Amino acid sequence: MGLEFLARVRRATLYVTAASAILVATYAAPLAGAAVALGAAWSLVNLFLIQVLVVTLTTPGNAAPPRARAYFALGGMAALFAAGAGLLTFCPVIWLMAGFWLPFVVLVLKAGSRIVLGTRAWRSLTRSPWRAAAAVGMLLLAAWWVVPAVLHRADAAADGRSARVAAHAAVATGHEGAEGAPAEAHESEGPEKFPNVITVLTRAFPRAGWAHGLHRYEPVLFSMLIGLLLCVVGFLASRNPKMIPGPLQNGAELVVEMLYNFVGEILGPRYGPRFFPFLGTLFIYIFAMNLFGLIPFMDSPTSNLNVTFALGLVVFIYAQWVGLRHLGVIGYFDHLLGSPRDVIGWCLAPLMLPIHVLGELAKPISLSCRLFGNIFGEDMLMVAFSTLGIGMLSFAHLPIGLPMHAIFFPLALLTSALQALVFTVLSTIYLLLMLPHDDHGHEAEAQHAHSHG
């Protein structure tokens, strides 16, 4: 066992710590999960400093070992112990100690596994697949009996504590019920999405005003974060353009070229370059917001109706401004009247005006509801199948389940791209309908140019 073994122990500890912290934060408390992670990190850093000190002092061939590395290790240990005192003050001691012992548990298990794997009994057990399968079956059977019993005792203890707390609360508020004050009803809030980082902070600090402020403006904060990330990516992709582009520049140019050709085919060469920056930005921004919810502890802002309606309202206002600018005030109202050019058209104008006005007002509603419904439904579908995966193993009362929602990740990628494309296509069509599209003027201009040619 050398330094390579210690490196493997550190890597395995990182994986175990991440899984343990997530489980503890989910089933106990977010602060307890953070304490497990911090305790394991403290222990790993301490082991690394001890390794540096021991290797420095025992390096052969040096009469006087380098003092700088030794002083670095000793100074780091002093600072680490001071940080540990602070952690004991602010974190739950039990969960902090559990995280502290995780690296040592992994170290003992790895050392024991190396010893067991080298024995003759293990080689004889794994030589036959039937004997190995029988051993795995016995382990599963033991877990079948042991784990539910332990969890049942824990649930019974938790129910007892909840009953005592409820009894104390009933005694404390008994006089209010006697006076006829209405009891506070616990209403169901319906299905919840996967928790994100703001949700975790709100649950970790339920009485903090700043946490509830973050939760209130959660969609806005995620939208601004995505916009900032897109600005950073765009800056990095365009700050130093090269004739032989790198991966980032090549990907950005490919996306821009595809969107430019797509918008140009709808609007034509006259209006395509003018409105491409707005429509291309709209597609990339919506696509990024749709995909952001697939990242753990993040959320898709487009699963909130406020965000999608704001996007639809931006398209509506921009389309009206484009119509007023290119058609003029008279041409704009002529468009709303249905462009009457004969007696029948003027007779139908009082009917066409409210129809066109209602159609314009319905555009932001249709854009926002379509995008919101698809992305929110996609999130709820993943939550439902994740719950199903956990419920499939509920007969054993295990805190784990099958990742049933993982099969919908390819579908989510396709849906995110498709909904961003639909939103962009409809916005492009709305702009096209507001632009001058009378072909008679173009035909007269072409005939005039041909006669003078």
**In this predicted model, what pLDDT tens digit does every residue of 11-58 receive, in sequence order?**
888 888 888 888 777 767 778 888 888 888 888 888 887 777 777 777
State how far the Cα of 34 lies from the Cα of 163, in Å rounded to an integer.
Answer: 28
Under DSSP, the state recorded for 182 is P
Chain centre distance of CA 51: 38
- Residue type for position 294: L
Confidence of residue 162 (pLDDT cuts 50, 70, 90): low
Whether 263 has a pLDDT exceeding 50, the answer reads yes
Q: What confidence tens digit (pLDDT) does each residue in 406-441 have?
A: 777 888 888 899 999 999 999 999 999 888 865 444
pLDDT: which is higher, 123 or 227 = 227
List the single range of 3-12, 101-110, 246-255 with lowest mean pLDDT: 3-12
8 A C-beta contact, residue 369 and residue 308: yes
On average, the pLDDT of the chain sits at 77
Lowest mean pLDDT among 130-134, 229-233, 279-283: 130-134
Which is more confident, 317 or 384? 317
Per-residue pLDDT band for 167 (boundaries 50, 70, 90) equals low
Q: Where are the domains of the chain?
A: 3-118, 129-159, 218-452
Could you tell me which residue, 97 or 285, shows the higher pLDDT? 285
- Which comes out higher in pLDDT, residue 444 or 276? 276
Is the pLDDT score of 184 beyond 60? no
Write down the pLDDT at residue 227: 93
Q: How far is CA 130 from CA 143, 235, 297, in A?
A: 20, 59, 42
Distances (CA, A) of 352 to 187, 225, 363, 415: 47, 43, 17, 36
Q: What is the structure's pLDDT at 145? A: 54
Note the pLDDT of residue 421: 93
How many angstroms separate the CA atoms of 299 and 225, rounded?
A: 11
Q: What is the DSSP letter of 180?
A: T
Higher per-residue pLDDT: 442 or 396: 396
The pLDDT value recorded for residue 276 is 92
CA nearest 415: which of 260, 287, 283?
Answer: 287
Residue 453 is predicted with a pLDDT of 43
Give Cα separations from 328 to 272, 320, 321, 427 (angstroms).
Answer: 20, 11, 10, 21
What is d(CA 266, CA 429) in angstroms, rounded to the nearest whole number? 8
Cα–Cα dist 280/264, whole Å? 11
pLDDT exceeds cutoff 80 at 175:
no
Higher pLDDT, 363 or 65: 363
pLDDT for res 411: 85
Q: For 137-162, what is the mean pLDDT?
A: 57
CB atoms within 10 A of CB 169: 10
Compute the average pLDDT of residues 69-90: 77
Give the mean model confidence (pLDDT) for residues 156-181.
Answer: 54
Q: What is the pLDDT of residue 6?
A: 74
Give CA 245 to chain center in angstroms.
Answer: 30
Amino acid (one-letter) located at 270: R
Q: Are 275 and 431 in contact (CB under 8 A)?
A: yes
